[in-house]
Amino acid sequence: MNYIKGKLKKLIFYSKESGFIVALFRVKASNVSEIVNKTITITGSFLDPSIDIPMTVYGEYKNNEKWGMQFVADSYEIEKPTTKEAIIDFLSSPFVEGCGEVTAKRIVEKFGEKAIDIIKENKDCLLEVEGITDKRKEKIYVSLINYDKSGDTIIKLQNLGFSPLECYKIYNHFKDDIDYVLNDNFYLIGEVVDFKKVDNIYINNYGDKTDIRIYACILESLKILSFNKGDTYSFSEEIRETLLKEFYIELTSDVLIECLNYLEENSEVVLLDKRIYLKSYYEKEINIAKNLKKIDNKKAKSYLNIDEDLKKLEEKLKIDYNETQEKAIKSALNNNITIISGGPGTGKTTIINAIVKLYVEKELLGPSDIMSEIALLAPTGRAAKKMNSSTGIPASTIHRYLKWYKDSNEFVYNEFNKTHHKLIIVDEVSMIDIDLFNALLNGISSNVKLILVGDIFQLPSVGPGLVLNDLIESDYFNYIPLNQIYRQSDNSYIPLLAKEIKNKDLSDLYLTKKDDYNFVKVDSSNIKSAIEQIAKFSLSKKLDERCVQVLAPMYKGENGIDALNIILQNIYNPRKKNKEEIIYNDITYREGDKVLQLVNDLDNNVFNGDIGYITRITGNKIIIDFDGNQVEYEKKNLKDIKHAYAISIHKSQGSEFTHVFMPISTSYYKMLYNKLVYTGVSRAKKSLTLIGDVHAFERAINNDYSSTRKTSLKEQIAMVYNN
């Protein structure tokens, strides 16, 4: 390993999020003789990369193919200043609050070369220095103490086996609690660093058979089970199997029960009959039930002459509401909680629009009042945009509405600080997990009309829970199922196919070509070439990637999303001399590419599932246009996007696409099941083309894989409502 001693002289790049820097470093000493007394480029993660602070950096001096020779830092130590000049530089650096250069000089004049040690021993000595108040004294003293602590902590973390970047994240996350974490609750680091990495480091330093490890791995097993299966509770045998599979921990049933009893005593889990809950999920289910009851118990404001107003609205919009639609609209306006569920073509959007228009009319809301009275919400950005386009009223994601902060994973609006909208309509509720629904109910006033809209036959949420189904099955709320299909035209078959899939009752019609539907029968081995031909044909008919969307169940494999995206990129956005490109993780992104956002980014108003287009690539900067919202990405942020010519059916939820191509392959195995196919089919707005194996399709329709989850929300609702 190489080392360099010297000072950072200039920051070329610095990420506050990761601590990563590219900087110029003036080398005073090194075991690499040719760089001594020279200024070189250095890269790595630094807790606080201040200029002109003496340090020793350890790493490798090596050639980067693109940027030339660089010193790549693995770890570093800040040198303690010893000379008067060095002490003045240090005290006046950003490390020390409340102390500029003039004050630093006065401190050194007063206390000399032992100034820092003197201050640490007796902070009140600073009051002897001209210009230092009690407030400035505290700032200077705390800065010196924290500086020592941070340096020691970083070195300790590095010695344990964490990377510089991980050290940076750990220290900044826990700060004053870091000693407690390292000494008493090591596995809390799993909040910041991958749990498996934390576990490996713990084993290497403390052994694999400690009680601390066993307890931590039991809790992690419960989390794994929750997110893999969507359950809010598990059984002991499942936990034993997961412990053995994931962490090679083998426990007898009796020992596991002893451990679980200990964890319950320490408020980590709840044991109820044979059910084992993470305490957080148990409490969230109860809290949801209590919040719903609070809303329900408020005296509902009802409106007179709704029937007359509905007739007028029908005339105005030239719509004939059927009996069920009228029931849904009236329920929403006259009750505190209403649930509406229906598949594609059943009129959910029509009902939402009517509710909003009638509410505005009844409450005599002017344009300026609407935003303060009505909130339209959805779990994804695209679903929110769909609500906005149908109602003409701005809609928001739930995360943005509650003002979510990614770094702390907290919401501004919560049980202590609530929003005050009087009418809240939430669409695509089937996508909402127990965590998000709990956060929503915590953040809204109980004095509200809450309308929950969704499709119980869609895929369940990615996270734990089965919120929409549990609310309906509890039978405590006004529930209106929508069953009647409104065809877009006489030959519209997509809604009918979705209904047949839902009922597991396929007619022979699904093999017959329609105006809006076709099943292209090919062997699984020929799916890629068939999609390629169909895409090329569609493009010749002026149907490009902006109106065509390929949906598939999985990413890997011969007919997976990754393979399809390579083919489709070459069709829709082939390489050209005038198009800039950038490569990240062996994937080529070029100007004009259709891409999918994978995570929520509230700062830039971009959300998981949003689709955009790369408009410009300059060096390591990428500009992506999300429906007029121009967002700048650095190369390292490309982990947050994927090509979107083909996307997963899960990611398509909450969206509609003009033309949908959907491969059906025997290679998808268990991933091809009833709710998945139903969800994909229901995303098509104008046309649907299924491509693949007929037998695989028929088998999928009768496959209920992943249709059940272990949840107890409906039981908690019953308990709360009966008390």
What pLDDT digit, counting tens, does each position of 594-640 carry?
Answer: 999 998 887 788 888 899 999 999 988 899 999 889 999 988 889 99
Q: Six-digit token pair at 562?
A: 């990754």
Yes or no: say if 498 and 677 are a contact pair by the CB < 8 Å rule.
Answer: no
Tell me the C-alpha distance between 393 and 622, whole Å: 31
Q: Give the model's confidence band at 722: pLDDT under 50 very low, under 70 low, under 90 confident, else very high.
A: very high
Above 60 in pLDDT, residue 8?
A: yes
In this structure, the strands spanning 684-692 and 657-664 are parallel
Greatest extent of the chain over all pairs of C-alpha atoms, in Å: 95
Above 70 in pLDDT, residue 489?
A: no
Q: Across residues 688-695, what is the average pLDDT?
A: 94
- Quote the pTM value: 0.80
Q: Give the model's confidence band at 164: pLDDT under 50 very low, under 70 low, under 90 confident, else very high.
A: low
Residue 707: the pLDDT is 60
For residue 689, give the 3-state DSSP assignment: strand
Among residues 372, 371, 369, 338, the alpha carbon closest in space to that of 355 is found at 338
69: Cβ contacts below 8 Å, ≥ 6 apart: 40, 41, 61, 62, 63
Size (the chain), residues: 723
Q: Across residues 370-375, what is the average pLDDT?
A: 94
Q: Give the model's confidence band at 14: pLDDT under 50 very low, under 70 low, under 90 confident, else very high.
A: confident
pLDDT in tens, 562-599: 999 999 999 999 999 899 999 988 899 999 999 999 98
Tell me the C-alpha distance between 341 and 496, whole Å: 16
Helix/strand/coil (H, E, C) string of 357-382? HHHHHHCCCCHHHHHHHEEEEECCHH
Residue 491: the pLDDT is 63
Q: Across residues 485-507, what is the average pLDDT?
A: 81
Above 90 in pLDDT, residue 81?
A: no
Above 80 in pLDDT, residue 95?
A: no
For residue 688, give the 3-state DSSP assignment: strand
pLDDT in tens, 68-79: 899 998 878 777
Tell me the C-alpha distance between 255 and 266, whole Å: 17
Tell me the C-alpha distance between 73 and 168, whole Å: 13
Residue 17: the pLDDT is 64
Tell me the C-alpha distance between 454 and 291, whole Å: 20
Q: What is the mean pLDDT of the chain?
A: 91
